[in-house]
Structure 1
């Protein structure tokens, strides 16, 4: 390693130590300083690690957590970016921390969540063994553009590491739409008998890449995912190497299912999270773990920031769900089907850069489905509370059940006055940060960096 690289790493480690010792932490600044001093620092830091990268639109953080805990059953010398700092500087900071803890002369393993637009910046320096592609949905239009733009960024990033094997969601048509330099292995669902159906009319990514006709489905799990085929040409879902073969039971806080005939349970709910578990299982099997080891990893994984995170506020139970695009929102709303107790809903919409400044996606979210539940109170808050209030009114939420709180700091007072013990919160990224900060200030949780 060059003297410049050594200096960059030492300055980064010193900064990281100072932040962790004297402040509440910080996930990006050490990486920013290190890369300023040596643009190749990420290459130096990662050269003694085998790397698994998790990327895609939805599910990266939970899939990364599950994968990390699964692989930890066989590989104790492993690191990850648990705070979700998934851009270049955050990943450098992750390696700075791991560089200090790594056993000398022993090759390490890193499981990294990587922002899909940042993948090309990361694979310029890191040559991963495996890249996991979770899905591609419309997200942050101001930053990414349409889904085909997002996927091209992922393709370009993978091409810089041509020896990396891609474990891709085979149920997503876009992942079978291009010839890649990388070998691809597919996972997906085979839990239902074949039928014939179409995706919802307001679904992206359902055009055949060969002939542009609308795809049909033998079965459709959600959004554009499922066992697709084109009725006008030979385009169809590829053969799956790893598959969910049965969904046994879904509740509001757990999932029970089978993969390749093996039973599994997780403490997260929703069909979309079964996909995340399937992705983690696929990585585990690729690295030679047994189904028993994989279940042990699932059991060890903890709730992640804003992903069905449960927080107690006096006698109330707050279930915090991060939302950022219509597909994710609809999946969270679908979770409410499994709730057996009465509940209220709080929805918070911000439009800061980290959220995406274009909030038009709320009109593609199925807020109308909230009418299917006997919800005594719906509260709206956030920077864009006016747009969200209008959306709720158009969805048919009665005005006598709708409360508008422009300031997120007032939401906690509203929790305490809620007519139900349970409150489901649907919030964008910076709104989750605001809410958690206020909860920490009031002593309900310990503040942590994301």
Structure 2
């Protein structure tokens, strides 16, 4: 098959993974190639605006505690070509006594096309925030793209972040598993901040109230105009024990768990992985063991040693996600520096207006000591951070100077917050300088 041959050349001759190119060639020759490949698997699709890659990675670890074969797309190559490449290059052990699983991250706009061919047994819905308006449109348009795929399979189970009210729209007949936060008592009456998207009631489009808000539009919501409220949760975070930049300790339904990555938003990703694991029969102890793995996820709080600098790479791409990264940085008790990198290519979203809805000002309440900016749109980011109260910025429009930029920072710990293609360019430079190993995911 052309796809497998292309993968062999890229992987074994050129030493690149080529997750998308084999799929591109295969789909050009046979647009329905995945339908044949999927017959050997039970398929679970993960989609949403933020957290898909980490949710998929954590879930793959969880499912691997029980299942012999779990194929996935760890690099985040989540459109049709990349997913086809993943399916083409997968190998099923000959003596396996279990039906293998395909756990696949899927771009929101590709859910319908991918689902049509793979016929999933479940969809995992993480969240929907304003993101890449040039590609997806506003959030209800994004959700409708996802619904078109789900509606093809009314028998598939939906594993839903119930704290996101937009997922309560659509009157879907599918069996449902709900996950969310119950770490605070269901009392109080508050509104989301005035510029928050996705806070309208599905029943009558009135503005929802909240007993508590975790972040963005997520929390324990209810309507004051009718009986609509957040559904009862199947699995819930019941306690937040300790949050740091390098780990998060929390309880799910009274069971204490820990992941080796910081940020409240990543607890949602872990909770989604927990919910999928329990749905697929993985025990709590097995999930705990899976979470204890300290394997890093491509570009997601990836730790790199650059000389005497401890560097943490974080992905930013929209205001809600960037604000959560900022909140994670604010839990750091040690002095740190920030290098922010902004590109505006197709994979990033060409609209950079989201940086003005990101709360860079709140970094004044942190241990931040120095700020630098870079990337193809460094001028936009420079102005935004200057307006946020950081006028003294070094600038690095040429990411080939990234190692020098890191070394010039005054603190031992450096956060690099980068959009997707800037993160790829960054990793390429760090790889060329010998600070990270090639993973093959850069293809």
TM-score (norm 2): 0.96
Q: 2:304 aligns with which of 311, 322, 332?
A: 311
Partner of 2:31: 39
- Structure 2's unaligned 5+ residue stretches are none
Partner of 1:443: 434
- Does 1:19 pair with 2:10? yes
Partner of 1:7: none
Q: 1:224 aligns with which of 201, 204, 217?
A: 217
1:196: how far off? 2.0
SS in 2 for 1:209: coil
SS in 2 for 1:330: helix
Q: Distance in 1 between matches of 2:174 and 2:356?
A: 37
SS in 2 for 1:358: coil
Partner of 1:282: 275
SS in 2 for 1:125: helix
Worse-superposed segment, 209-218 or 185-194 = 209-218
Per-residue CA deviation, residues 130-157 of structure 1 (Å, 9 max, x unaligned), is 1100000010010000000110011111
- Does 1:63 pair with 2:63? no
Q: Distance in 2 between matches of 1:369 and 1:389?
A: 17
Q: Distance in 1 between matches of 2:424 and 2:94?
A: 31
Q: Deviating runs (4+, > 3 A) in structure 1?
A: 99-106
Worse-superposed segment, 56-65 or 106-115 = 106-115
Per-residue CA deviation, residues 207-249 of structure 1 (Å, 9 max, x unaligned), is 2232332211111100100000111222210111111111111
1:110: how far off? 1.0
Worse-superposed segment, 402-411 or 77-86 = 402-411
Q: 1:93 aligns with which of 85, 92, 96?
A: 85
Per-residue CA deviation, residues 143-187 of structure 1 (Å, 9 max, x unaligned), is 000000110011111112222100000000001122013222211
Partner of 2:405: 414
Q: Distance in 1 between matches of 2:72 and 2:398?
A: 35
Residue pair 1:65, 1:301 contacting (<8 A) in 2 also:
no
SS in 2 for 1:376: strand
The 5 Å alignment of 1:317-336 reads 317-336=310-329
- Does 1:255 pair with 2:255? no
The 5 Å alignment of 1:32-181 reads 32-99=24-91, 103=95, 107-181=99-173
Residue pair 1:102, 1:108 contacting (<8 A) in 2 also:
no
1:99: how far off? 4.1
Question: Over aligned residue pairs, what C-alpha RMSD do you find?
Answer: 1.4
Partner of 2:232: 239
Residue pair 1:80, 1:94 contacting (<8 A) in 2 also:
yes
1:402: how far off? 1.7
SS in 2 for 1:208: coil
Q: 2:291 aligns with which of 298, 309, 333?
A: 298
- Structure 1's unaligned 5+ residue stretches are 1-9
Q: Distance in 1 between matches of 2:279 and 2:227?
A: 29
Residue pair 1:77, 1:102 contacting (<8 A) in 2 also:
no
Count of paired positions: 439
SS in 1 for 2:214: strand
Residue pair 1:306, 1:322 contacting (<8 A) in 2 also:
yes
- Does 1:209 pair with 2:187? no
1:424: how far off? 0.7
Q: 2:351 aligns with which of 352, 358, 380?
A: 358
SS in 1 for 2:301: strand
SS in 1 for 2:369: coil
SS in 2 for 1:307: coil
TM-score (norm 1): 0.95
The 5 Å alignment of 1:181-196 reads 181-194=173-186, 195-196=188-189
Partner of 2:193: 200
Q: Distance in 2 between matches of 1:334 and 1:103?
A: 47
